[in-house]
Amino acid sequence: MTLTDKTLLYDSTDECLVEPAVLFGIIDHYTRRESRQDFVIGTLLGSDEGGVVTVCSSFPVPHTEVEDQIALNSDFHATMLALQQRVTPQHKVVGWYSTGESVNTNTTLFHEFYGQDVERPVHLLFDVGMGVRRMSCKAYVSSGLTLGETRLGTMFNEIRVTIVNGDSDRVGIDTLLKMTSGATTASPGTGELDSVEATVKKLLRTLEGVTDYVDKVTKGEATAEPAVVRLLQQLVASAPRLPAESFGKMFNTQVQDMLTIVYLANLTRTQLALAEKLQAVALS
C-alpha cells in the first residue's frame, strides 16, 4: 500500500534547498528521454545538515520499462556516483528525482532502492507541465505507515522546497532573461562582455562602500562593528598577494582566453547555420 495523491504536509524543520542547475538538468534529461518512456529518474547529490537538505547537483539514471515491470540500472548509478565523488567528494547522495504529476506505486520501489544507502532520502518530484500547466517542484520524505506492529505501507510527506542561487547562477539567469526579452539587439559575443562589465561595476561599488566605511571608522565618525571587522580581516587574508604586474598579466590572459572562447563559439554557430542551409538546399 502506498499513499499517492493523499500526501501530507510535513510540519517540521525539514526543508529541501535546490540549486537552479539541478532543475535545468532534470529538464534536459526529460527532453532527451526515449520516446516510449513517460518519466525519468536520477540521483540527487548534496548535503544534509540537521534536516535541511541542500541539492547541489544530480545525474540521470537509466531505467527500463517492460510491461508492468520497471528496473533501475544500479551498475550505472554506482559508476556515476564514484566518478562524481572523485570530483566533489564533499557531496553525497541525498535522494533522487523523477518527473510526473504525483507520487505513485513506482515511487516506493525507487525510494526503497535509495533508502539502502541513505537514512532518509528526499524524493524531488518535478512536473514539467508539458505546455498544459505551469511547472512545479515538490519534495517528499517517507515514513512507515503501521497499525500496531503491522506495517501497512509507506507514507510520503511533503516538505518545503526553496530554490537557492549564488552570484554565478544569478548572472546566468539575468543573461537568459535579457536574451528572451528581445529588448536588446546586441551582436553575438557582446553578452559575455556585458556580464563581465556589470560584475566589475558591482565589485567597484562594493569596494567604494567598504572604503567609505573604513574611512569613517578611522576618522571616528562611525563605530567599528566587530563582525564587520572580522569579515574584512578574513577578506584581506584570503586575497592573493601578487605584484601588480603579475596580477595584470594573469587578468589579461584570462580575458584573452574568454575572447577566444567567444570567437570559437561564434564560429561554430556560423558553421552550423551554414550547414543547415546547405542541407536545406540539397533536400529541395
Q: Do residues 131 and 37 both lie within one domain? A: yes
Residue 55's nearest CA partner among 213, 163, 131, 132 is 163
Q: Are 179 and 32 in contact (CB under 8 A)?
A: no
pLDDT reported for residue 45? 94
pLDDT reported for residue 103? 87
Residue 130's nearest CA partner among 99, 102, 157, 107 is 99
Q: What is the mean pLDDT of residues 7-27?
A: 76
Considering only 42-51, 75-84, 118-127, 175-184, which range has the smallest mean pLDDT? Answer: 175-184
For the four alpha carbons of 106, 112, 115 and 121, in that order, the dihedral sign comes to positive
Residue 111's nearest CA partner among 101, 100, 122, 102 is 122
pLDDT band at 68 (very low <50, low <70, confident <90, very high): confident
Q: Do residues 282 and 152 both lie within one domain? A: no
Q: Which of the pair, 275 or 130, is modelled with greater confidence?
A: 275
Q: Are 157 and 142 in contact (CB under 8 A)?
A: yes
Over 90: is that where the pLDDT of 129 sits? no
Q: Do residues 18 and 146 both lie within one domain? A: yes
For the four alpha carbons of 146, 147, 148 and 151, in that order, the dihedral sign comes to negative
Q: Do residues 24 and 147 both lie within one domain? A: yes
Residue 57's nearest CA partner among 28, 35, 84 is 84
pTM exceeds 0.75: no
The residue assigned the cell 513506482 is 106
pLDDT digits (tens, 9 = 90+) for 260-282: 888 888 888 888 888 888 877 77
**Buried/exposed code over 129-159 (b: 16+ C-beta within 10 A; e: otherwise):** eeeeeeeebbbbbbeeeeeeeeeeebbbbbb
Give the CA distances from residue 126 to residues 23, 48, 67, in Å, rounded to whole numbers and listed in that order.
8, 20, 24
- What lies within 8 Å, CB to CB, of 140 at 6+ separation is 7, 103, 122, 123, 125, 156, 157, 158, 159
- What lies within 8 Å, CB to CB, of 11 at 6+ separation is none
Q: Do residues 156 and 171 both lie within one domain? A: no
3 located within any domain: no
Q: Do residues 205 and 265 both lie within one domain? A: no
Alpha-carbon gap, residue 212 to 206, rounded angstroms: 10
Domain range spanning residue 217? 167-239
State the total domains in the chain.
3
Element at 109 (helix H, strand E): helix 105-114
Q: Do residues 82 and 205 both lie within one domain? A: no
Q: What is the CATH number of the domain that holds 69?
A: 3.40.140.10
23 located within any domain: yes
Over 50: is that where the pLDDT of 5 sits? no
pLDDT digits (tens, 9 = 90+) for 142-181: 887 777 777 777 788 889 999 887 666 776 667 667 666 6
Reported residue count of the chain is 284
3 state DSSP class of 1: coil
pLDDT reported for residue 259? 83
Q: What is the mean pLDDT of residues 238-243?
A: 75
Determine how many CB atoms are found less than 10 A away from the CB of residue 80.
Answer: 17
Over 50: is that where the pLDDT of 4 sits? no
For 108, counting Cβ atoms within 10 Å of its Cβ (0-12 exposed, 13-18 middle, 19+ buried), the class is buried
1 located within any domain: no
